[in-house]
A and B are shown apart, each in its own frame.
Chain A
Amino acid sequence: MEKFFDEYLNFIVWLTPNRFLRIFWFFVIFELCRYVILDFFLLSLSRITRYLNRHKYEEARERFLFEQPFVSVIIPGKNEGKHIFKLVKSLQAQTYKNFETIVVDDGSDDDTPIIGRSMQRAGLISMFLRNDLRGGKASAANLALRFAKGKYIVHLDADCSFDYDAIEQILLPFYMDDRVGAVGGNVMVRNYKESLVTTLQALEYYDTISVGRVISSYLGIYRVISGAFGAFRSDVMDKIKGWDIGPGLDGDITVKVRKAGYSVKFAQKAVCLTSAPNTFRKLAKQRMRWDKSLVRFRMRKHKDVFYPNQAFNWSNFLSFFENILYGFVLNFKWIFYLIDMLYNHFSQVQFIILTNFVLYVLMNYFKFLVFSLFRERKNAPISYFLIYIPCMVIYFGYFLRLVRLFAHTKELLFKASYDDPWNPLKTSKHAKEMGL
């Protein structure tokens, strides 16, 4: 062990700036520059812009409160009956009251129909619709959309709960800019204390949602409105004719809104708490689904975004480019980096791995602490997460990357998303045939 540390010390001393850059180019270019320096710069800019536009925000709020638009809250899902009562209580506590609640049961085989019907009878929800035959989440959402009467549609997942002003906050961006067609809410992990995997997801959500989406929204390249909490203009939904077949319909509908010529915003103050998967197995399954959809929707269904003679526009192009670059290309680049190190610095690999780990840990601490200054709403104390931050290197750097790699490969080679039982085969079969 002593020998290892002596050698490691020698390795550190040996690292001149040039050698550091040569060996840790991946970290410096793709992590430090992109996720720390650029994010910090953009976050600061977005905050300054927000400060300068504060009067616009107040005016928008006044207009919104004066108009009191009727809103349809739609909750499609299967076997979600056990969550509905808690969700409805959370909605009843909202500052904004002028909304209807439409729950769609997509062929549940538990007590959801009984719960839904009794809640409708008790006047706790406006409409309960049930399809005896499961059609998939898109069909359930479309059924709710068909009977929604609101000017805005708020799409929720049943296992979520909301801050008291979440509905109001998610609708305000519509009143700040007429071009806004859809708004995404700020999703946080409610069960962050349940297990290590939920804690790590809570940290991930802080980074990718609470911070990452502020930046992408600021740049106009915000690309996924979470299905857990998103708001849409009814007229825009009529135009794009609702949701298409999933999985990955959240990202798909966001692209459809963007392609229809509307901008998509992130509402940081519209906070929604959701239950994250509590085991690595469940998480891997969920992420496989999400990651496959990147290939399916961005690289296949909506590839016209890249063709200047088709649905090209710069913000859509950049949104896709950034997503594909970081979510897909660099995922493979990470393998090249590994090969590079094994081939060129094989004798130092153990020190490189250790140094990479230390660098990532330091970066994560820095990001977490500094970016916390930009987060207005925290659902857990910062101190709780500090001891878990080193684990994020494994979680982000290895676990999620491996899952992503596996998912992308499967989707690229086998179009595996069409076989995902998350969506009924009867619809996936047609989507596959039509290349949707």
Chain B
Amino acid sequence: MDSKIENIMHQDSNGEITYNGHTFYILYPNSGKSIEELLGYTAILIHAVHSAFASFTIQRLRSYKDAKMYLKPIYFINPSIDSGGYINSLIDGSIFNVNQLNSIIPNIEEILIRTHQLKNTESATYEASIITKFLTLAYTRGRKQVDPIPYQFSGINYSYAGISCNFEHSEEQKVFSILDKAEKDGLIQGEFYDKTHYCNKCNHGALNYRSVCPKCSSSDSLTQDIVHHFPCGNVGPISDFQNEFDDNLNCPKCNKVLRHIGVDYDKPSVLHICRKCDHKFQDFDVKAKCLNCEFDNELEELIEKSIKRYTITNKGENATVFGYLPANREIEEIPGTIRYSLFSNLVSLEIERVRVVGSKNNLAMIYLHNTTELVTKIGEDRRRVLTKEVVNIIKKFLRPYDLITYKNPSLMVLTLYDISIENASLLLEEIVDLLKKLLTDNIKGYNVLIDSRIQPIDIHTTYKTQISELTVGFD
């Protein structure tokens, strides 16, 4: 070990390293740390001797909901093999041992500086949060262009750093709609890169193109030459001309030996004989068998998609730094809710008003876990419809002048004015129960997990402090 490094580096037995003012954590397969416990480190070093563990871990960290994690500098340490383009696009580099930490410090500091430049990484919708993740990850790594990377484990054959890791392979088609939306909003500009095909049944991209019997779709067949004997005009598969005794070809019609191809006979075509159904044919059908759902696709039925490489536009860069505004616009579109900034102003004013006239006002939050799973299960469009329904239901429990806002797609904040904290708590419980029932009934197999909190509005504390206390751990 370099003596200089030895002097300033401290490594404890738990895998924590302090070096040059930064804290690192080496993540081993059996480290047992939760992601939340890793949030405090400057950078993570994934022990990558086991490539499967390394691939899984990096995707998990980059798909984490909190920007503090998904933007964190992450490196492989001691990688046994090259994990390939896509996994490499998720890490910030590799080192072989801790002695090389010095080499990655400038890169880490660059990422940190760029991360600190980001004013807002929050988003009001699931789609917006993924777009934000995509943009911020590229921005903090100094990338203006994001290329699709062929990835054998991808459900759509190509993966994009910052987006694809958020989806199960079977759900990766959503990557396209999200990128399309970002392109439509002018944040990125797409350029044709490749064309690829997906299963018509499950949208998966792992396809086995096979030549099959046009009758029974079996790929088990025997191919024979067709032989044409010129002198007598006899035509048939070569087996008709073969005999058991020698390699000569004998014409079964005129008993002559076929001597010279092109002179007294030729092979004008071939014939395939299906070993399964004995069908004889000359032209195979080509089918694409999905390796995910085993559905045998006709080629013309395959879903064709253009794969693009994306360049982040100036507008996209602004949105990266200052927050993705279209997300807020969408929340506005939900009847009965108001933008979070307006909500903050109105509650601040209410605090002032109550300070003068006095009243029993409360501030509550409802947090829906597994929003990603929800979107995966029902899609973004249905989620919006469901959100409107949720808001309508909640409105029925509230007074007309109570306010509702979404701070992010999972976190709803609302006021319960002119009601005691006890009654407000009961009311909130009732709302949460109803929401649980609504979601359970409407989405099969979805594990509904809702947290809620309520607290009276304190006239002596600022709104900002009160909202932080209310949403701590969920924001």
Contacts and interface: CB of A to CB of B under 8 A. Distances in A.
Interface of A: 107, 117, 120-121, 127-136, 138-140, 142-143, 146-147, 241-245, 426-427, 429-431, 433-434, 436
Contacts of B230: 135, 245, 426-427, 429-430
Interface string B280-298: 1111010000000000000
A171 to B, nearest CB: 25
5 contacts: A120-B214, A127-B280, A128-B282, A135-B235, A426-B230
B234 interface: yes
Contact of B233 (A130, A131, A245, A429): A245
A117 to B, nearest CB: 6
A433 to B, nearest CB: 8
Nearest to B267: A133
B269 A132 contact: yes
Contacts of A429: 230
Contacts of B268: 107, 131-135, 139
Interface in B255-311: 264, 266-269, 271, 280-283, 285
A143 B282 contact: no
Contact of A242 (B226, B234, B264): B234
Given A130-B282, A132-B268, A133-B268, A434 B234 contact: no
A244 B266 contact: no
A135 to B, nearest CB: 5
B232 A244 contact: yes
Contact of A131 (B232, B253, B269, B285): B269
Contacts of A436: 231-232
B232 A117 contact: no
Given A107-B268, A135-B233, 10 more contacts: A120-B283, A121-B214, A129-B282, A143-B228, A143-B235, A242-B233, A243-B233, A244-B233, A429-B230, A433-B231
Contact of A430 (B231, B253, B280, B282): B231
B235 A139 contact: yes
A133 B266 contact: yes
B394 to A, nearest CB: 57
Contacts of B253: 241-242
A117 B269 CA distance: 15
Nearest to A245: B233
A419 to B, nearest CB: 16
A433 B230 CA distance: 12
Given A107-B268, A128-B282, A430-B264, A133 B228 contact: yes
Contacts of B240: 146
Nearest to A424: B230
- Identify the interface centre among A243, A429, A430: most chain B CB within 10 Å of its CB: A430
A120 B283 CA distance: 10
Contacts of A430: 230-231, 264
Interface of B: 214, 226, 228, 230-237, 240, 252-254, 264, 266-269, 271, 280-283, 285
Nearest to A134: B268
A127 B267 CA distance: 19
Contact of A434 (B228, B231, B285): B231
A244 B233 CA distance: 6
B269 A245 contact: no
Given A131-B226, A131-B268, A135-B228, A117 B235 contact: no
Contacts of A129: 269, 271, 282
The 5 closest A-B pairs by CB, nearest first: A131-B268, A138-B233, A430-B231, A133-B268, A143-B235
Nearest to A240: B253
A427 B263 CA distance: 9
Contact of A427 (B226, B233, B280): B233
Contacts of A139: 228, 233-235, 268
- Identify the interface centre among B226, B236, B285: most chain A CB within 10 Å of its CB: B226
Nearest to B234: A142
Nearest to A430: B231
Contacts of A143: 226, 228, 235-236
A322 B159 CA distance: 83
Nearest to A129: B282
Nearest to A142: B235
A436 to B, nearest CB: 7
A241 B268 CA distance: 20
A132 B283 CA distance: 13
A252 B50 CA distance: 78
Contacts of A243: 233
A245 B232 contact: yes
B300 to A, nearest CB: 11
B82 to A, nearest CB: 45
A127 B281 contact: yes
B97 to A, nearest CB: 62
Nearest to B228: A135
- Identify the interface centre among B226, B230, B267, B271: most chain A CB within 10 Å of its CB: B230
A325 to B, nearest CB: 30
A143 B233 CA distance: 9
Contacts of B269: 129-133
B280 to A, nearest CB: 6
- Identify the interface centre among B226, B228, B233: most chain A CB within 10 Å of its CB: B233
Contacts of A130: 269, 282
Contacts of B267: 133
A142 B240 CA distance: 13
Given A120-B214, A143-B226, A241 B234 contact: yes
Contacts of A117: 283
A394 to B, nearest CB: 38
Nearest to B264: A430
A129 B280 CA distance: 10
Contacts of B226: 131, 143
B332 to A, nearest CB: 53
A26 to B, nearest CB: 40
A146 B236 CA distance: 6
A244 B229 CA distance: 11
Given A107-B268, A120-B214, A135-B268, A147 B280 contact: yes
A436 B236 CA distance: 21
Nearest to A244: B233
A38 to B, nearest CB: 37
- Identify the interface centre among A132, A147, A429: most chain B CB within 10 Å of its CB: A132
Contacts of A107: 268
A431 B230 CA distance: 8
A99 B254 CA distance: 30
A120 to B, nearest CB: 7
A34 to B, nearest CB: 36
B233 to A, nearest CB: 4
Contacts of B234: 139, 142, 241-242
Nearest to A433: B231
B103 to A, nearest CB: 61
A17 to B, nearest CB: 55
A431 B281 CA distance: 30
A143 B282 CA distance: 12
A100 to B, nearest CB: 12
Contacts of A135: 228, 230, 233, 235, 266, 268
B361 to A, nearest CB: 73
B241 to A, nearest CB: 12
A139 B234 CA distance: 6
Contacts of A121: 214, 285
A43 B268 CA distance: 47
Contacts of A434: 231
B222 to A, nearest CB: 15
A245 B237 CA distance: 19
A132 to B, nearest CB: 6
Nearest to B279: A127
A138 B281 CA distance: 20
Contacts of B252: 241
Contacts of B285: 121
A245 B267 CA distance: 17
A131 B252 CA distance: 20
A130 B98 CA distance: 69
